[in-house]
C-alpha cells in the first residue's frame, strides 16, 4: 500500500483522487504491485510461500487477476430461489375430522351453558365471549354499572379449570402491581422475580380506565406478545391467556380513556345491556335465594381449551374471503365519518374470530355470514370517528353496519 494510506505524507497530486475514487484505487493497485515485485508478498524482502502463485488484487470490490497468470478460478453459480408467494409457503394444516369438530362444538357449548347458569338472558354475548376465548383474543366489556360485567368475567374463569386473577385498577396502581417485581432475597443473597397477576390464564382488569396511562401501558406487551419484560428479562405467559377488561362508559370523572393502541389489542368489545323483564325477574330470584357463582364448577381444563384453540387455527379461509376482509378494512379507511380506520390487526382478529365461530357452528371453513356476524363487535371499538360525525350523532357501530351492506360479498365461502 502507498505510504500516504497509512497517514504519512501525501503526494502532491492528491487532489486528483478527490473527484475520482477509482483513480485512488488504481494508484493503490499500482503501488501494491510494485511493492510485491520488489519485496515479495510476505513483506520481508524474501519470496513468500505463495509468491509464485497468481494473486488477485481486490480494489473497491473488483477482482483483478494478473495478466500473465493462469485462468482465474470460477466462482460456483449462485442458486436463485423462486419468488415466495403468500400461498406457496404455507404448509396446509391437517384437515379437521368430523369427530374433532363435534367435540370442539360440544365443549364450547358446555362452557356457554356454565356461564349461562349465572348470566341469564345473554346468550349472544356469552357466545361471543367463548369465540374470543377460542380465538386467543381479549375482550373489553363496556356497559352501565350493575349489569354483570365483572360477573361475566368471573363466570368464564370459574367454568375453566385454570388460574384466575383479578386486578382492581385504581389511579395509584403501578405497573409492577400488574406485571410483577424483582426483589432481593436476603436469605439467598440473590434477586428473584415475583410474578404479578398478569401471569394467570384469565385476568380480569376491572375498571381499567381508572388507572393511569403508565399502568395501562403495562398490558400492551402482555396482550399482544404473551410475555412481560421486567428489569430487561422477558418472562413468557403460559397459554391459554385472556384479558377481560371492564369499564364504565358513563362516569368519566377521574378516568383515563384507553388510547387507540390499547383498544386495538382487544379482539372484541361487548355490551351486556339491561336484561329483559322476564330475565330480570329470574336474576332477582337466583341472586336472592342462593349464589349461583359459588356453585359453578369447571367443565373443562386449561389444556383442553388450548387444544380447542389449536383446532381453530386449522379452520380454512378461502382466498375470496380473505379479500373480503381486506375490502372491509380498506372501506373503513375511506369513509368521511371515520378519522382513523381499522388496522391490519383488526383484519387478523376478525379472521380468527370468524374461524372460531365457524368451528362452533360445525364447519371447518369460514363463510361470509361468520364474518358479518362478528364484524361490529370486532371493528367498532377500533374506529375513531371524525369530529363532524360525533356532532351529528354517528356511531361506529352504524358505520360498520352500513359497510357490511355496501361492500360486495364473495359468492363462495369455503
User: Is-above-0.95 flag for pTM?
Assistant: no
Rg (CA), the chain: 32
Is there a domain that residue 75 lies in? no
Q: Which of 288, 313, 338 is the last residue of a domain?
A: 313
What confidence tier does 36 reach under pLDDT thresholds 50, 70, 90? low
Q: Which three cell numbers stand for residue 154?
A: 368471573
Tell me how far the alpha carbon of residue 405 is from its chain's centroid: 29
Residue 283 has phi, psi (to 5 degrees) of: -65, -45
Helix axis angle for 319-332 and 344-360, nearest 10°, is: 130
Q: Are residues 45 and 117 in the same domain?
A: no
Q: Which of 64, 84, 107 is the last residue of a domain?
A: 64
For 313, the 3-state DSSP assignment is coil
Is there a domain that residue 232 lies in? yes
Is there a domain that residue 89 lies in? no
Is there a domain that residue 82 lies in? no
Domain extent at residue 374: 315-414
Is there a domain that residue 77 lies in? no
How far apart, in whole angstroms, are the C-alpha atoms of residue 108 and residue 115? 11
**Average pLDDT in the chain:** 83
What confidence tier does 363 reach under pLDDT thresholds 50, 70, 90? very high
pLDDT at 220: 93
Tell me how far the alpha carbon of residue 389 is from its chain's centroid: 30
What confidence tier does 250 reach under pLDDT thresholds 50, 70, 90? confident
How far apart, in whole angstroms, are the C-alpha atoms of residue 135 and residue 116? 20
pLDDT at residue 28 is higher than 80: no
190: CATH? 3.40.50.300
Cis peptide before 268 (omega within 30 of 0): no
How far apart, in whole angstroms, are the C-alpha atoms of residue 269 and residue 381? 6
- Using CA atoms, how far residue 115 sits from 139, 200, 237, 273, 274, in Å, is 16, 20, 25, 17, 17
Helix axis angle for 344-360 and 98-116, nearest 10°, is: 100
* Count of domains for the chain: 3
Is there a domain that residue 278 lies in? yes
Q: Are residues 150 and 26 in the same domain?
A: no
pLDDT at 249: 82
pLDDT at 94: 81
Q: Are residues 244 and 146 in the same domain?
A: yes
Identify whether the C-beta of residue 137 lies closer than 8 Å to the C-beta of residue 268: yes
- Out of 59-73, 115-129, 263-277, 302-316, pick the least confident: 59-73
pLDDT at residue 347 is higher than 80: yes
pLDDT at 413: 44
Q: Are residues 283 and 178 in the same domain?
A: yes
pLDDT at 59: 44
pLDDT in tens, 190-243: 999 999 999 999 999 999 999 999 999 999 999 999 999 999 999 999 999 999
Q: Which three cell numbers stand for residue 209?
A: 380506565
pLDDT at 251: 73
pLDDT at 38: 52
pLDDT at 252: 72
How far apart, in whole angstroms, are the C-alpha atoms of residue 201 and residue 213? 23
pLDDT at 85: 52
What confidence tier does 62 reach under pLDDT thresholds 50, 70, 90? very low
The whole-number average pLDDT for the span 115-133 is 95
pLDDT at 89: 55
Scan for cell 422477558, then name that residue.
234
Q: Name the residue with higher pLDDT: 350 or 20.
A: 350
Identify whether the C-beta of residue 354 lies closer than 8 Å to the C-beta of residue 100: no
DSSP class of 140 = E
Is there a domain that residue 397 lies in? yes
342: CATH? 1.10.8.80
Q: Are residues 261 and 127 in the same domain?
A: yes
Is there a domain that residue 79 lies in? no
Amino acid at each position: 500500500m502507498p505510504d500516504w494510506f497509512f497517514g504519512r505524507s501525501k503526494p502532491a497530486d492528491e487532489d486528483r483522487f478527490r473527484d475520482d475514487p477509482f483513480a485512488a484505487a488504481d494508484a493503490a493497485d499500482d503501488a501494491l504491485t510494485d511493492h510485491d515485485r520488489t519485496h515479495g508478498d510476505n513483506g520481508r524482502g524474501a519470496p513468500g510461500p505463495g509468491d509464485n502463485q497468481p494473486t488477485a488484487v481486490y480494489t473497491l470490490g473488483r477482482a483483478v487477476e494478473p495478466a500473465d497468470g493462469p485462468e482465474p478460478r470460477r466462482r460456483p453459480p449462485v442458486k436463485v430461489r423462486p419468488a415466495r408467494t403468500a400461498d406457496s409457503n404455507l404448509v396446509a394444516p391437517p384437515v379437521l375430522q368430523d369427530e374433532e369438530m363435534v367435540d370442539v362444538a360440544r365443549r364450547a357449548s358446555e362452557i356457554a351453558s356454565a356461564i349461562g347458569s349465572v348470566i341469564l338472558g345473554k346468550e349472544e354475548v356469552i357466545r361471543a365471549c367463548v369465540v374470543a376465548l377460542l380465538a386467543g383474543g381479549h375482550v373489553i366489556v363496556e356497559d352501565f354499572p350493575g349489569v354483570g360485567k365483572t360477573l361475566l368475567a368471573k363466570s368464564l374463569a370459574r367454568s375453566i379449570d385454570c388460574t384466575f386473577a383479578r386486578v382492581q385498577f385504581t389511579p395509584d396502581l403501578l405497573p409492577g402491581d400488574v406485571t410483577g417485581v424483582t426483589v432481593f432475597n436476603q436469605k439467598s443473597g440473590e434477586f428473584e422475580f415475583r410474578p404479578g397477576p398478569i401471569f394467570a390464564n384469565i385476568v380480569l382488569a376491572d375498571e381499567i380506565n381508572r388507572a393511569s396511562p403508565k399502568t395501562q401501558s403495562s398490558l400492551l406487551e402482555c396482550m399482544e406478545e404473551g410475555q412481560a419484560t421486567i428489569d430487561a428479562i422477558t418472562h413468557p405467559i403460559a397459554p391459554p391467556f385472556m384479558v377481560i377488561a371492564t369499564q364504565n362508559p358513563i362516569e368519566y370523572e377521574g378516568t383515563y380513556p384507553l388510547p387507540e393502541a390499547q383498544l386495538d389489542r382487544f379482539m372484541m368489545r361487548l355490551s351486556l345491556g339491561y336484561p329483559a323483564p322476564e330475565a330480570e325477574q329470574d336474576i332477582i330470584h337466583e341472586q336472592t335465594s342462593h349464589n349461583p357463582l359459588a356453585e359453578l364448577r369447571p367443565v373443562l381444563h386449561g389444556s383442553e381449551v388450548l387444544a380447542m384453540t389449536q383446532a381453530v387455527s386449522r379452520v380454512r379461509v378461502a382466498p375470496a374471503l380473505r379479500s373480503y376482509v381486506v375490502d372491509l378494512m380498506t372501506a373503513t379507511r375511506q369513509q368521511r365519518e371515520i378519522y382513523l380506520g381499522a388496522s391490519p390487526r383488526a383484519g387478523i382478529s376478525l379472521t380468527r374470530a370468524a374461524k372460531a365461530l365457524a368451528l362452533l357452528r360445525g364447519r371447518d371453513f369460514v363463510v361470509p355470514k361468520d364474518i358479518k356476524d362478528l364484524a361490529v363487535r370486532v371493528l367498532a371499538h377500533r374506529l375513531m370517528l371524525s369530529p363532524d360525525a360525533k356532532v351529528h350523532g354517528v356511531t361506529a357501530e352504524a358505520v360498520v353496519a352500513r359497510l357490511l351492506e355496501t361492500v360486495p360479498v364473495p359468492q363462495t365461502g369455503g
